[in-house]
Amino acid sequence: MENINGKVVAITGAGSGIGRATALALGRHGARVVLGGRGLDKIDAVAGEIRAAGGMAACRQMDVRDRASMQALVDHACATFGRLDVLVANAGVGPLSTLDDLREADWNDMVDVNFKGVLNGIGAALPVFRRQDAGHFVTVVSTAGLRVVPGMAVYAATKNAVRTLLEGLRQEAGPSLRVTGVSPGYVRTAFGDAMPDGPMRDAAIRTMEAIAISPEAVARAICFAIAQPDDVDIGDIVIRPTAQG
């Protein structure tokens, strides 16, 4: 993991779950971590954990749905540490329901956070990476887009849109930029809490409790991709419980 040491890494959705685990892991490996999230108290607490362990961390309250807010996170990283080496686009929402439920506000939220949020991150970080002639986009996608099941149509659609976007970005990136998609399966997070009450939510929580892997497992995969030499691009990582179908 020596190639992580000294890198400046910004992470969205860094206050809990995969984002928090990734921030802590990168901090342990010597990265200078910039935490973004809607809950200032949460990201500030994670930054405090990193500093208490001897690492370097800054934080910025932000919302990936807002282009200016995403730009402010990237600018904060550059102003604080002089550059940005990696953007980990982790923020995501999943209020799952069947299409017949017509929960259009939830559909819009998934499009705005899961897809447009990634676009906002690319828009903010790509000019920085071009000026530096170096940079790495790491985006948390999902196995939901690899195996579409009832209740996940919109969520899976946003994730597959991201998957397509990343492939286009990879082809346009050229030899000095790297693009990685990380697709987790069931992970032990608060993901199920965002779902509407009902049988689907209950089933998702039961499955998570029974088979889910830890956020730290996904964080290790993200660290693996970042730690590669600059001329090695890890395109896609799928990481899920062995028990997941």
Tokens describing residue 81: 């540490």
107 φ/ψ angles, rounded to the nearest 5 degrees: -60, -45
How far, in Å, are 136, 194, 208 from residue 181 at the CA level? 11, 23, 22
Which one of the listed residues 81, 115, 155, 191 is annotated catalytic? Answer: 155
Torsion from C-alpha of 6, 219, 177, 1, nearest 10 degrees: 40
Catalytic, 155? Answer yes
Span between the terminal Cα atoms of the chain, in Å = 31
Output the DSSP codes for 117-167: HHHHHHHHHHHHHHHHT-EEEEEE--GGGTS--TT-HHHHHHHHHHHHHHH
CA 236 to chain centroid: 14
Tokens describing residue 12: 């969205």
Query: Which residue numbers are catalytic?
Result: 155
